[in-house]
Chain A
Amino acid sequence: MKRFFSFLCFAFLLSCVERIDFPVGEPEEIVVVDGTFSASNGEKTIRLSRTMQVNRQVDLPIEGANVFVEDDQGLQISYSETQPGVYKTDGIADTERQYRLYAELPDGRTISSNYQSVPDSFSIEEITTLDTLTTFLNENGNDQRLRALEFFAKAKNTNVENDLFLRFRYETVYQVLETKCGPFHNPKACYFYNDERAFAINLIEIDSDASEVEFETLVLRRKIDYKLTEIFALDLSLLSYNKEEYDYWKNLKNLFDQEGNINDVNPARLLGNVKSNDGTEILGQFAVVGESRKIKIVGNADFPTQRLPFCGVAGNLPWPLPDECCSCEGLKGASLLKPDYWP
């Protein structure tokens, strides 16, 4: 009898969620803009690419474009193409002026965004970590309890004059140091940038009614493995947006939050703030942001009882020793480019 009722109730309440094949056509290769500009020091990046087939994850960069940021008085700051589709500048925004993107594409079209003012920035006071036990989804789609390191960002602003629309963005880097594999072998380090795609969009809205604001929020959770236990860096930025550009990220978060229950908001085509001169559709966003940045580095000393680095430590090497410990370029995603903040 219990099984009979179980069967019925499963049919009613648990219903059925199954993975399906949903037919998709060929991509239209629409131009995508992805970039920011701010008043902070350091490089600013604009990426130009095209849309790709769903789940192909093949980057289709647009090379050979002329990319500028223009202020409201006509001053142009040019970007240089450093990699296919990646355009960078060291220019710094003047907080008294407004800026827009202007670019000439190789196909002859020009694209431009709206003019945006430079929002107030919000300082990251510090980044703290917490070693904890939590649940991860493994590759088979099953829950797994693992030790994890949680990174918390504490931010503070004592003079909030306007509404603030904030988003945390981060980059990660970890190091793998080779082992001395022979008398003539000079061990070098390889660096691995952004090995995991960002999954959650972290947004915060602050009312201007509160003159002093302080908050702490979780920005990243990583399971503790060899990637953390050598040298791992979290390069965290807190970006403040203008309302329109912030709404773009809110809408994107809505798309990401689909759970498949009856409460899901209807998805829609995400439109950005860039237009082309011939009226064709341009996707993505160019945003002028206020920016603050903080870097948190953790290493072996923080995990005395945890997993060892990939190539172990002196006196405690893995056996058998992986080939990549003698030549770390063999590891997927390895780069020899060392971040300028590296210890």
Chain B
Amino acid sequence: MPKPEILDPQGKAVHGALPRLGFSGVLDVRQGKRFELEVAGEVTDEVLAEVEKMAETLLSNPVIENFTVRVES
């Protein structure tokens, strides 16, 4: 997700479109990205640490984005 202090023009565009479609009550919209990584074998702590590293190095730009890693089966 873009960090809270970083302007998110795409989120703003979506926010502006909602009332035009009759949806009300949304105070703000922020738009981010979701990556689904399929990994081989069990998601051990080592694998998770590796994925965190991927998120930090390539998948996100820590200068402007925050990320969280979640395991789903």
Q: Do A and B bind each other?
A: no
User: Interface residues, chain A, CB within 8 Å of chain B?
Assistant: none
